[in-house]
A and B are shown apart, each in its own frame.
Chain A
Amino acid sequence: MAQYGIFVYQPAPADPMNLPAEYEKALETYPAQVAETGAEPVTGFAFQPSTTATSVRGDEISDGTFHPAKEVLAGFFVIEAPDLDVAVKVAKLNPATRHGGGVEIRPLFTPPEE
C-alpha cells in the first residue's frame, strides 16, 4: 500500500458553504464509493473560500491564492491505496471532476530507508 494526497480543485472561490445541491448530495455517497475501490481514507480537510487566502512570496505578502487561477484548491485528503490505478478511481469518483473542477493525485514522499 502507498499513500496519495488527493487535491480537490473547484472553480474560484470554492466556497464550501455554497456548493451546488447535486455536489452536496454526491459528497454524501462519496465515502462509501471510495471504500469500494479498496482505498482507505487517512485524513482530509476542506478550506474556506479562496477569497480568504493569503500568499507570501519572498518578503512580499499578498491577498489571494499563490497561483492566480480560475480553479482553486478547495481541500485535500490522503488515502492509502495499493497502486495509482486505485487512486485514479478514487479521484474520478470525486464530484469536483463533474462540476467544473478536478483532482490532482500526488504520491506522498517517504524518505528512503538507509
Chain B
Amino acid sequence: MSVGDNAATAVERAVTDAHRREWAFVLAATARVAGDLDLAEECVQDAYLAALDAWARDGIPRKPGAWLTTTAKRKALDVLRREQVFRAKMPLLVEPDEVAMDEPDDDAIPDDRLRLIFTCCHPALARQAQVALTLRLVCGVGTGDIAKAFLVSEPTMAARVTRAKKKISAARIPYRVPDAGELPERLDAVLTVIHLLYTTGHTAASGADLVRADVVGHALNLTRMLMALMPDEPEVRGLLALLLLTDARRATRTDARGRLLRLEDQDRSAWDRAAIEEGRDLVADAFRTGRVGRYALQAAIAALHATADSYAATDWRRILRLYDDLLKVWPSPVVALNRAVAVSMVHGPQAALDEIEALRQDGRLNGYHYLPAVHADLLRRLDRPEEAAVAYRAALSLADNEAEREFLAARLAEVLDPAS
C-alpha cells in the first residue's frame, strides 16, 4: 500500500467519523440558513462529498464540523441566490441578520441541534413521521435503513419523510426551541420518539439484525446528546437511565437458541455492570431534583430490578410504591398491568387477579398479548391450570414476536402437562 492510499483511507475515516459525530450539528446550522430542511440536507450531503476531495488536497481541518458547516451554509446561500427565492424561502429562517456567513471564529457557529430535534418531533407531525425524521435528519440515517428498521418498503418510508418535510415548510412549523410554558409537553414528545426508537431496536419483531442494533445505538446517542444540550432536565436523565438499565440486560433477554427468557430466569452475572452503575447514578441525580416524571420513575424501577440479587430478593414493596407514583403521572393501562405484577409479588397472585379483572373490563388492552400472558401466569401460580391454559392460548393468538410466541407455547405445554 502506498503512502497515498494511507492518506486516502485517513480522509475517508475522518469523513465517516464527522458524519457520525457532527451530522446533526452541521445540518441544524445549515437549516437555519437554507430555511428549508430539504435544501439543507442536500447541501450538507454535498459538503460531506466535497470534504473527501478538499481534505485529501488540503489536509483534514482542525475542526471538521465547522469546515462542513461553513461549506454547507455557503452552498445553501448559493442555491438561494441562484433561485432568487430567498424571500419565498424565509419561513424557516430565524432572522436573516442572525446568519453570519463568514464567521472568523469557528466556535461562533451556534448549536442549533435542539431546534432541529424539536422541529422533527413537533406535535403537528404524525408520530411515525417524527420518528422517521429524527433518524433521517438528526442521526443522518439513510431512508433505506430506516425503512428496514420499521419493516416498511423504502418508497413508503421515502414518501413518509417527504410528506413530513413538506408539511414543515407549508404549515410553517417553526425552527425553534419551545418556550418554557410549552417545554414540558414538547420535551415529552421528543423523549417519546427516542424511547420508541429504542424499543423498535430492542424488541425486534423478527430476529435481531444489524440495522435494529444500530437503532438502539442511535437512541442512546440521541439521549446523550440531549442531556448535554439540556443538562437541567431530570426527565432526560431519567430516559438515559431507563435505556441504559434496560440495555444492560440485553444479552440475557434470550437464551443461546434465541428463546425469550423471563427476568427471573436471566443470568444476572451477565448483566452490564458499568451500564447499571451509570443508570443508577442518573436515577439518583434525577430524584435529587424533586421533579421526577415517568421516565425517571420507570428508570428507578429498572434500577431496583438491575441491582437485585435475584427475582425473589427484589425489593418489590419499593417497586410497587414506584408503580403507584408512576400511575399518578402516567395513568396508562400498560402501567397498571405492570403494577399488577408487582402487586402479585407483594400481596400474592389472588390480589393481582382483581387488578387484571379490572383491566379486562376496561378493554383498552384487549389486543395486547401481555394482558392474557400475565393473567395466565397468575392462574398458574394459583394452581388453576385449565384456566391458565385458556389464557395462554389467548396470549398466543395475540403475540406476533416469534421469541414471545415460543415462550408462551412452552408455558402452555407446562400447564397442560406439569410432569414435562
Contacts and interface: CB of A to CB of B under 8 A. Distances in A.
Nearest to B168: A84
Given A2-B91, A88-B124, A83 B85 contact: no
6 contacts: A2-B172, A82-B172, A84-B173, A85-B182, A105-B171, A113-B87
A85 B185 CA distance: 13
Interface of B: 85, 87-88, 91, 122, 124, 170-174, 178, 182
Contacts of A112: 88
B124 A83 contact: no
Given A83-B91, A85-B174, A107-B171, 10 more contacts: A2-B172, A83-B174, A84-B122, A84-B174, A85-B173, A85-B178, A105-B171, A107-B170, A107-B172, A113-B87
B124 A84 contact: yes
A107 B173 CA distance: 11
A93 to B, nearest CB: 14
A40 B182 CA distance: 21
A83 B172 contact: yes
Contacts of A82: 172, 174
Interface of A is mostly: mixed
B90 to A, nearest CB: 11
Interface in A65-103: 82-85, 88
Interface of A: 2, 82-85, 88, 105, 107, 112-113
A105 B167 CA distance: 12
Contacts of B172: 2, 82-84, 107
A50 B172 CA distance: 32
Contacts of B174: 82-85
Which of A2, A84, A113 has its CB near the most chain B CB atoms (within 10 A)?
A: A84
A24 B405 CA distance: 56
B88 A113 contact: yes
A2 B87 CA distance: 13
A26 to B, nearest CB: 21
A78 to B, nearest CB: 15
Contacts of B85: 113
A82 B172 CA distance: 8
A84 B171 contact: yes
A83 B173 contact: yes
B126 to A, nearest CB: 15
A81 B173 CA distance: 12
Contacts of B182: 85
A88 to B, nearest CB: 7
B18 to A, nearest CB: 32
Nearest to B124: A84
Nearest to A112: B88
A82 B95 CA distance: 12
A112 B170 CA distance: 11
Contacts of A2: 91, 172
